[in-house]
């Protein structure tokens, strides 16, 4: 059985759809009211992608638009030194405020009350703009680096900001007093966008070193980063997650595409600690027998980032579930496997790490 399992070809778990009807897309957001994606464009037009995949013009814009975000029936974007807003229903320009003294407005997050927090890339600052009154002011005059993507983490009363440059930083900014705190240095370069999924995992896009990557952190930045996606990207910019769909949208400014990735499969992977195990080990699941959930633990040894794939097979050697397919940092992990759609029987779970494969037997009893 083991030789049969090891000969099975492994397919990538992510369902990746690529759409290239854009010109240097920099930011993307999802409009739940009209069930469409909106994409900034360097070609003088914000694009819209409908639910059936049709891409058309949404609203005229100057070249170099960035940071699409939606609030109260409008979508807002950065245009050089101005913030413009367009009606979601008509595409008409309904808001235009210049932030005097700014140089290159790039990242933006908006809270539920209509307060926008905007990063200035070239003259490093973070601005605060009330979309209801048009009043604005400098919120963080010196963030300590080049701020890029901004996410409003309201439950923790802070901004999450990723930074450009080598060994790029991720920092928090207190919404109470604008205090800046370093959360982590990523070890990667030129971080562009930052967003949270519905389980409060943090995703960050990084341009380099090649290949470009999407990084994933826990909400407290307590564990080393794991790589969610490390291929098919090109200068991944201001990412967005449609939380109820578990869909990560990545505008790739380097190859004029937007890619959509199903991240649901990675939500249950938990890193137990940052200790580096001596060897690659797949542990016996528990409970076993189980119904319908069980925990699978495994150890990833030192040696850098490598691909890890966990697949479930039935007694005939047929793949019935691909639990995850990603790159993981060294450490000890566990993943919850739910077999509610499978029938009673003997199954095998196989973990491939680089060129190594380990397989164990488990029993589902309903």
Domains delineated in the chain: 16-265 (2.120.10.30), 270-364 (2.60.40.1930)
Structure tokens at 283: 């542990």
Euclidean distance between CA atoms 213 and 191, whole angstroms: 9
Is residue 131 a contact partner of residue 71, using CB atoms and an 8 Å limit?
A: yes
Using CB atoms within 10 Å of the CB of residue 21, give its burial: 0 to 12 exposed, 13 to 18 middle, 19+ buried: middle
Is residue 350 a contact partner of residue 5, using CB atoms and an 8 Å limit?
A: yes
Predicted local confidence at residue 95, as pLDDT:
97
pLDDT at 253 over 60: yes
Query: Residues 184, 325, 229, 51: what is their CA dihedral angle, to the nearest 10 degrees?
Result: -120
7 to each of 10, 49, 66, how far by Cα in Å? 9, 40, 46
Euclidean distance between CA atoms 147 and 161, whole angstroms: 7
What tens digit of pLDDT does each residue of 169-221 get? 999 999 999 999 999 999 999 999 999 998 888 999 999 998 899 998 889 98
Total length of the chain: 366
pLDDT at 127 over 90: yes
Is residue 364 a contact partner of residue 13, using CB atoms and an 8 Å limit?
A: no
Is residue 298 a contact partner of residue 324, using CB atoms and an 8 Å limit?
A: no
Predicted local confidence at residue 63, as pLDDT:
66
Residue 318 CB: number of other CB atoms within 10 A? 11
Euclidean distance between CA atoms 239 and 205, whole angstroms: 7
Structure tokens at 349: 């779970």
pTM of structure? 0.72
What tens digit of pLDDT does each residue of 145-163 get? 999 999 999 999 999 999 9
The alpha helices in the chain, defined as continuous H runs, are 2-6
What tens digit of pLDDT does each residue of 266-291 get? 556 777 876 789 999 999 999 999 99
Q: Which residues contact 202 (CB under 8 A, 6 or more apart)?
A: 160, 170, 194, 195, 196, 216, 217, 218, 219, 221
Euclidean distance between CA atoms 129 and 135, whole angstroms: 6
pLDDT at 6 over 60: no
């Amino acid at each position: 059985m083991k030789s049969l399992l090891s000969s099975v070809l492994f397919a990538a778990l992510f369902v990746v759809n690529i759409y290239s009807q854009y010109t240097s897309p920099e930011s993307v957001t999802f409009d739940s009211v009209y069930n469409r994606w909106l994409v900034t464009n360097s070609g003088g037009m914000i694009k819209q992608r409908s639910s059936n995949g049709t891409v058309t013009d949404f609203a005229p814009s100057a070249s170099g638009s960035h940071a699409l975000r939606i609030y109260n029936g409008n979508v807002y974007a950065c245009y050089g030194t101005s913030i413009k807003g367009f009606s979601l229903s008509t595409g008409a320009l309904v808001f235009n405020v210049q932030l005097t003294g700014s140089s290159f407005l790039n990242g933006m997050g908006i809270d539920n009350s209509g307060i926008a927090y905007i990063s200035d890339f070239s003259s490093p600052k973070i601005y605060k703009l009330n979309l209801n009154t048009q009043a604005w002011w400098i919120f963080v005059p010196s963030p300590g680096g080049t701020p890029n993507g901004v996410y409003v983490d309201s439950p923790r009363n802070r901004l999450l900001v990723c930074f450009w440059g080598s060994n790029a930083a991720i920092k928090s900014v207190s919404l109470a007093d604008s205090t800046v705190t370093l959360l982590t240095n990523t070890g990667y370069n030129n971080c562009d966008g930052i967003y949270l999924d519905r389980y409060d995992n943090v995703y960050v896009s990084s341009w380099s070193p090649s290949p470009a990557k999407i990084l994933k952190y826990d909400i407290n930045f307590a564990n080393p980063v794991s790589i969610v996606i490390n291929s098919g990207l090109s200068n991944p910019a201001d990412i967005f997650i449609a939380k109820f769909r578990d869909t990560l949208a990545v505008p790739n400014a380097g190859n004029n595409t937007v890619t959509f990735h199903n991240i649901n499969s990675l939500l249950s992977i938990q890193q137990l600690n940052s200790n580096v195990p001596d060897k690659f080990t797949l542990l016996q699941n528990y409970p076993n027998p189980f119904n319908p959930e069980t925990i699978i633990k495994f150890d990833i040894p030192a040696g850098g980032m490598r691909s890890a794939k966990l697949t479930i097979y039935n007694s005939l050697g047929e793949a019935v579930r691909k639990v995850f397919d990603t790159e993981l940092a060294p450490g000890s992990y566990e993943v919850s496997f739910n077999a509610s759609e499978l029938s009673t029987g003997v199954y095998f779970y196989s973990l491939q790490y680089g060129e190594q494969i380990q397989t164990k037997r488990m029993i589902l009893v309903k």
